[in-house]
Amino acid sequence: MLDEAKVKKAEYLKKWREENSDSIKENAKKWREKNKNYTKEYDKKYRENIKENITYVIRIGSEYYFGHTSQGLSKRKTQHFADIKRGQANKRMMELFHNLGEEAFKNLFDMTIIGKYKNKAEAEAQEAYLLSIYVGKPGCINIRK
């Protein structure tokens, strides 16, 4: 059971926001304009901090694909799906997508980090090493060494 005072306060705040919505929007707009440079710098630093140099493996059922990225795993996963839908992805991955259907493919699609590295060159070197071992073996759908 909610405290009566909390309910009254919530109702008051809701009413106040409704009555002052134009003023709130205007103040937010002014703040964004005044702090434009600060927010741009903050966004840039934030984006730099979330970049990771990683190697990953994608498992789709019994098949797997190795890759590397410096843009973060979730962003790369989104990019993989966009590439598949545009027809610009690994040929076997696109075949699996079309044969299984989008929903089943997404349910089977498992992307896991293998390693994190100090820079992109190290991630690329690790991917190249993995490809030299696994390309051509059953289940590996990478096509290059």
Predicted confidence (pLDDT) per residue in 2-17, tens digit: 578 778 888 888 888 8
What value does the mean pLDDT take over residues 23-42? 81
Distance CA 52, CA 76 (A): 11
Number of structural domains (the chain) is 2
Convert the pLDDT of each residue in 59-118 to its tens digit: 999 999 999 998 888 889 999 999 999 999 999 999 999 999 999 999 999 999 999 998
pLDDT (0 to 100) of residue 139: 94
Residues 44 and 55 in one domain: no
Within a domain: residue 139?
A: no
Report helix, strand or coil for 113: strand
If asked whether residues 123 and 72 sit together in one domain, one would say yes
Do residue 110 and residue 45 come from a single domain? Answer: no
Residues 42 and 89 in one domain: no
Same domain assignment for residues 60 and 123: yes
Shared domain check, 9 and 61: no
- Domain, as residue range, for 83: 51-134
